[in-house]
Structure 1
Amino acid sequence: MLDGFEWHSWLGFGVAVVIAAIAALVISAIARQIARAVGRHKEWPRILLKRARWPFRLLLFIAGLWIVLVATLDESEVRAGFEHLLLIAMIVVGSWFVCELALFGMDLSTARYRIDVADNKVARRVRTQIAILRRLVVVIAVVVAIGGVLLSFPEVRLVGASVLASAGLLSVVAGLAAQSTLANLFAGIQLAFSEAIRVDDVVVVEGEWGKIGEITLSYVVVNLWDERNLVLPCTYFTTQPFQNWTREGSALLGSVELDLDWRIAPSLMREQLAASLERTELWDQRASVLQVTDAVGGFVRVRILVTAADAPTLFDLRCYVREEMVTWVQTQHPTSIPHQRVLVDPVAVDATPDAASARPEKKSSRKHEPEPEPFVDVPSPHTGEQSNLFSGSPEAEERASMFTSAIPIQTGASDQEVEETLDRDGA
């Protein structure tokens, strides 16, 4: 393969490669010193050198190697093959270098917005958007590098026309196949710029309380309060309702409820609440309210409202207030502890056999009255059974017919005949 080349050309090529490597290191060192001199006493030179040092060196070395290849070797298939390899390396390293420069700019923007301060709404919004843009830049750089490498092959360029001709059908098929993936991708971009959630937001999802730890193009990680991680797709936050406690600000209002006895004094509880809040730094002094919100079922419900700077502080404050009020009720007003009351009916107690035997017999002041004789139904002599007024014996049936049957009256009879008929029937 090397028959068409002279050995001195290859020797010159090797020496030129070494010179190109040394030149790349020297230029890189000079650029590093310039960056440090321009950004003296600043943080950005260290971040830039950390990000772009190696891709910049490799880019300089590949460029020098290409110049050496063209200057020392004659045109041939071997030189064309080397040039193709150098072109691929230049595309890959160039994409890497551009990506690192973009990430460097994002790091500078992120460093300006701190989220470890009290009012960090803007910082959380910017950090969320930068996190999404960072991933987009990386994805775009990788796609462009792969496309550039493929287009460097002539065979691929020839196939490109037919691929573009069928791009409509392929896009439909790809869209149907990657429907959920694309939905999560666009949902992630929407979350980054709609400010529905931001990094470090306090949210309640699926009945769990936690903070937004990471937002990607496909899923969101929620760091729960007990150190678990809840991973949800981005489409969840665009299609399902959830609670965001820090969307407008981190300050929150919380409640503490107590069921106490009716003998509690709300005015004294307010004094104790004020004294307890003055002794803690958890309260942000915005609001403190004590109200009796209910008084049914034998208990008095007392609700206390307090405010704090953020959600974790509010939880600690609620626990502190609850403990202070419970201790105050136990020590200062034990009669206000909830009691179960049972009302005993004296009439029901007297009706019991034990109470009746133990109770002394009371003498009645009223005169003795004879008790009425009980009704005794006399057995019928005909049936031997007890008979009532209108049933039983034949005599009773006859009496029943006298009181229940209709009196026959002849039509056209005179008044005297009617009276005689009535008198005869009554007899």
Structure 2
Amino acid sequence: MPPFITELTHGVFRLWRRLYWLPEWAVVVVIVAGFVFVGWAANQIVFALLKLAVRRRDVFWRGVVGRARLKVRIALMIVAMALAVTVSPLDPGPSDVIRQALLFLFILTIGWMAIGASDMWAVVYLRRFNMATEDNLIARKHITQTRILQRVASLLIGVVTLGLALLTISAVRQWGMSLLASAGVVGIIAGFALQPLLTNMIAGVQIATDQPIRLDDAVIVEGEWGTVEEITSTYVVVKLWDWRRMILPLTYFIQKPFQNWTRETARLIGTAFLYVDYEAPIERLRAELERICRDSPLWDGDVISLQVTEITDRVAQVRCLASARNGSIAFDLRCEIREKMLAFMRDQCPEALPRDRLWLNSPPEAPPARP
């Protein structure tokens, strides 16, 4: 036993002799209360010094000190109670049980501190990025990486902390070792049971590093268009265009194909198809499309195109292309092009509207072939 513990024990025993007229449990309560008070006073002094030390440091250290106040106080109280139980006149049996329980709680508190430090790091790091800007590709990239890695780190810290805490309990440790050594089937069953969790955890790390999706990405999954609203450690929430939410496991975005409209940039080319008559003046339609796009605030000033992409037995298919800043604006621009092109053909260019032709007499003779 360390010398300071020995001297502390002798001092407590001298105090106990002076309080011999009290029952043993009352002496234990007095000793524990005294140690807890000393621990509380030490916590106040330590945090006053820490505040002075970090007042000129960056936000991370100030945030860590602020968030750790309660956790450090609990840890010091646990240490104080453990010392009090060690030097108190308790019987060895109850004293060992209490100290073992306090050690278990102390390890859990240390893990809680580590999770709080990782969360604080994520909060400070994410303050550099603004998701409210229109061109938020860099912000979405870093926020997605940070939040996924933060959740994975918290889960790993929690698992490791709980495992270390359980190792302090001899009965549980021996039971676990004997169970895994005598019945390999249990290990196989546990492996199958943990497979979805481990698979999604690995998929989360892959998504954080490779980033096939990010927060606020415009995606098409299962035939539905939406934006990535939330990425947790096990699933992804996609907010669909009509405000429904589609919940998908992380492994979906690793194992199945899907469309990401904002993978490298938010800009997108919108497509609008028109079906016109064979006699439609394509040049007039092309000029009208250019006028519509140049007058529209939705167009980004880059791509305009009108082409005949197909001819059927009744009509010609015309494809109108126009670029926009992002997917939602491109959708609105496509709708605007359809509406205004339809109004133009109806009011100013009726020969472009599809028509059915019926010959009442015999059709005109075909011109003779050239020699």
TM-score (norm. length: structure 1): 0.70
Q: Which residue of 1 aligns with 2:227?
A: 211
1:369-400 CA-partner distances (Å, limit 9, x unpaired): xxxxxxxxxxxxxxxxxxxxxxxxxxxxxxxx
Q: Which residue of 2 aligns with 1:134?
A: 150
Q: Match of 2:175, as an amino acid? A: V
1:296-330 CA-partner distances (Å, limit 9, x unpaired): 43323321111112111111111122222222223
Task: Say which of 253, 256, 261 aligns to 1:240.
Answer: 256
Structure 1 residues 81 and 168: CA distance shift in structure 2, 3 A: closer
Instruction: Specify the SS of the correspondent of 1:214.
Output: strand
1:388-399 map, 5 Å: none
Structure 1 residues 278 and 164: CA distance shift in structure 2, 3 A: same
Point out where structure 1 has 5 or more consecutive residues left out of the alignment: 348-427
Task: Say which of 190, 194, 214 aligns to 1:198.
Answer: 214
Structure 1 residues 220 and 57: CA distance shift in structure 2, 3 A: same
Instruction: Specify the SS of the correspondent of 1:313.
Output: helix
1:133-152 CA-partner distances (Å, limit 9, x unpaired): 22222222322232233222
Structure 1 residues 33 and 332: CA distance shift in structure 2, 3 A: farther
Q: Which residue of 2 aligns with 1:318?
A: 334
1:146-178 CA-partner distances (Å, limit 9, x unpaired): 223322223234335424534855433322344
**Once the 2 structures are TM-superposed, how far is the Cα of residue 294 of structure 1 from its aligned partner?**
3.1
Q: Using the alignment, how far apart are the partners of 1:290 and 1:342 within structure 2?
A: 30
Shifted more, 235-244 versus 156-165: the winner is 156-165
Q: Match of 1:11, as an amino acid? A: V
Q: Which has the larger radius of gyration?
A: 1
Task: Say which of 59, 63, 66 aligns to 2:75.
Answer: 59
Q: Which has the higher contact order (CA 8 A, sep 6+)?
A: 2
2:144 matches 1:125: no
Q: Match of 1:14, as an amino acid? A: A
Q: Using the alignment, how far apart are the partners of 1:85 and 1:172 within structure 2?
A: 31
- Give aligned-pair identity as a percent: 33
Shifted more, 180-189 versus 312-321: the winner is 180-189
TM-score (norm. length: structure 2): 0.80
Q: Which residue of 1 aligns with 2:303?
A: 287
Is this contact kept in 1: 2:310–2:316, CA < 8 A? Answer: yes
2:343 matches 1:327: yes
**Once the 2 structures are TM-superposed, how far is the Cα of residue 75 of structure 1 from its aligned partner?**
6.2
Q: Which residue of 2 aligns with 1:76?
A: 91
Point out where structure 2 has 5 or more consecutive residues left out of the alignment: 1-19, 364-371
**Once the 2 structures are TM-superposed, how far is the Cα of residue 101 of structure 1 from its aligned partner?**
0.4
Q: Using the alignment, how far apart are the partners of 1:129 and 1:167 within structure 2?
A: 40
Q: Which residue of 2 aligns with 1:413?
A: none
Instruction: Specify the SS of the correspondent of 1:287.
Output: strand
2:42 matches 1:27: no
1:247-293 CA-partner distances (Å, limit 9, x unpaired): 22221112111112344322222322222222222211221111222
Is this contact kept in 1: 2:35–2:83, CA < 8 A? Answer: no
Structure 1 residues 96 and 248: CA distance shift in structure 2, 3 A: same
Q: Which residue of 2 aligns with 1:147?
A: 163
**Once the 2 structures are TM-superposed, how far is the Cα of residue 242 of structure 1 from its aligned partner?**
1.4
Instruction: Specify the SS of the correspondent of 1:345.
Output: coil
**Once the 2 structures are TM-superposed, how far is the Cα of residue 122 of structure 1 from its aligned partner?**
3.9
Instruction: Specify the SS of the correspondent of 2:243.
Output: coil
Structure 1 residues 318 and 6: CA distance shift in structure 2, 3 A: closer
Task: Say which of 310, 313, 317 aligns to 1:297.
Answer: 313
Is this contact kept in 2: 1:189–1:217, CA < 8 A? Answer: no
1:77-130 CA-partner distances (Å, limit 9, x unpaired): 344343223212211211111111011112222333333334444433333332
Q: Using the alignment, how far apart are the partners of 1:339 and 1:118 within structure 2?
A: 44
Q: Which residue of 1 aligns with 2:111?
A: 95
Question: How many residues are matched?
Answer: 342
Q: Using the alignment, how far apart are the partners of 2:357 and 2:43 within structure 1?
A: 92
Is this contact kept in 2: 1:28–1:56, CA < 8 A? Answer: no
Q: Which residue of 1 aligns with 2:200?
A: 184
Q: Which residue of 2 aligns with 1:174?
A: 190
Q: Using the alignment, how far apart are the partners of 1:313 and 1:143 within structure 2?
A: 45
Instruction: Specify the SS of the correspondent of 2:236.
Output: strand
